[in-house]
């Protein structure tokens, strides 16, 4: 880990990366970046529009470029990653060597409960019916866990508080 004090919040869609990330940044007196918002602002388009226009493989290239920009241009920053960011283009290696990666862990059932109500801004799950969505989440989580589990810190996203997270993180950065 280098000493630029970068903290990456990772986890599945719906894990609370942006919400908790923002709160953690405030607690630590750090800057905050939401990678999805950064991509949207840079391209003047929503993530849904970007997926529609260029498709997922090109989105992943864009995501990697923006991740590199964020890492190179910032210190003392909490970066909320997209759910897929650590799982493509060897981004995981860059993340792990650039700062502290935290995995906000939730099980598939809890993720389903959260995502059922929040499908429409997320192109990967938009329009999926109940059973299909449940299966999709379970399968994708299984595929992604080997990446998420490489995080230096794994916390239960349902139980952890910002105060606890700040306490733990302060000792690690
Ligand atoms: C994605 C998660 C989204 C966004 C894009 C792809 C994924 O971010 O980057 O829709 O592959 O899991 P959130 O995790 O913030 O929803």
Q: What is the pLDDT of residues 81-99, one digit of tens each?
A: 999 999 999 999 999 999 9
Q: Is 47 in the pocket of ligand 1 (CB under 6 A)?
A: yes
CA of 82 to the centre of ligand 1 (A): 4
3-state helix, strand, coil in the chain (%, to 5): 55, 15, 30
Residues 16-25 have a mean pLDDT of 97
Residues 145-169 have a mean pLDDT of 97
Residue holding tokens 């630590």? 28
- For ligand 1, pick from 8, 21, 47, 111 the residue to mutate: most ligand atoms within 8 Å of CB: 47
Nearest ligand 1 atom to the CA of 122 is: 10
Asked if residues 11 and 148 have their Cβ atoms less than 8 Å apart, the reply is yes
Q: Is 86 in the pocket of ligand 1 (CB under 6 A)?
A: no
Beta strands in the chain (DSSP E): 6-10, 31-34, 77-80, 100-105, 153-156
Residues 135-151 have a mean pLDDT of 98
CA of 122 to the centre of ligand 1 (A): 6
**Does residue 47 register a pLDDT over 90?**
yes
- For ligand 1, pick from 33, 122, 124 the residue to mutate: most ligand atoms within 8 Å of CB: 122
CA of 47 to the centre of ligand 1 (A): 8
Q: What is the DSSP secondary structure assignment for residue 127, as one 8-state letter?
A: T
Residues 123-127 have a mean pLDDT of 93
Residues 33-62 have a mean pLDDT of 97
User: Which pLDDT does position 166 carry in this prediction?
Assistant: 96
For the chain, how many residues are written? 173
* Entry pTM: 0.96
**Does residue 21 register a pLDDT over 90?**
yes
What is the C-alpha separation between 63 and 129, in angstroms, rounded?
28
Q: Is 82 in the pocket of ligand 1 (CB under 6 A)?
A: yes
- Return the closest-CA partner of residue 105 out of 24, 7, 12: 12
- In percent, how much of the chain has pLDDT > 90? 93
Look over the chain and give the mean of its residue pLDDT values, rounded to a whole number.
95
**Does residue 169 register a pLDDT over 70?**
yes
Report H helices in the chain: 17-28, 35-43, 47-73, 91-98, 108-115, 130-148, 162-170
Q: Which two tokens stand for residue 50?
A: 């970007």
What is the C-alpha separation between 33 and 133, in angstroms, rounded?
29
User: Which pLDDT does position 119 carry in this prediction?
Assistant: 82
Residue holding tokens 């602002």? 41
Give residue 88's region: left, alpha or beta (phi > 0; psi -120 to 50).
Answer: beta
Confidence label for 108 from pLDDT (cuts 50, 70 and 90): very high
**Does residue 46 register a pLDDT over 80?**
yes
């Amino acid at each position: 880990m280098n000493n630029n004090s970068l903290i990456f919040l990772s986890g599945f869609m719906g894990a609370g990366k942006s919400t908790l990330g923002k709160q953690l940044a405030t607690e630590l007196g750090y800057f905050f970046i939401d990678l999805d918002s950064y991509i949207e602002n840079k391209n003047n388009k929503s993530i849904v529009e970007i997926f529609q226009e260029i498709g997922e493989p090109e989105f992943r290239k864009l995501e990697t470029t923006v991740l590199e920009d964020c890492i190179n241009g910032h210190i003392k920053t909490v970066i909320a990653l997209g759910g897929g960011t650590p799982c493509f283009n060897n981004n995981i290696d860059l993340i792990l060597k650039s700062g502290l990666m935290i995995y906000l862990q939730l099980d598939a059932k809890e993720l389903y409960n959260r995502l059922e109500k929040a499908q429409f801004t997320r192109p990967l799950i938009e329009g999926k019916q109940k059973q299909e969505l449940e299966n999709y989440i379970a399968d994708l989580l299984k595929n992604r866990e080997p990446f998420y589990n490489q995080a230096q810190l794994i916390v239960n996203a349902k139980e952890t508080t910002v105060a606890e997270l700040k306490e733990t993180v302060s000792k690690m950065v």
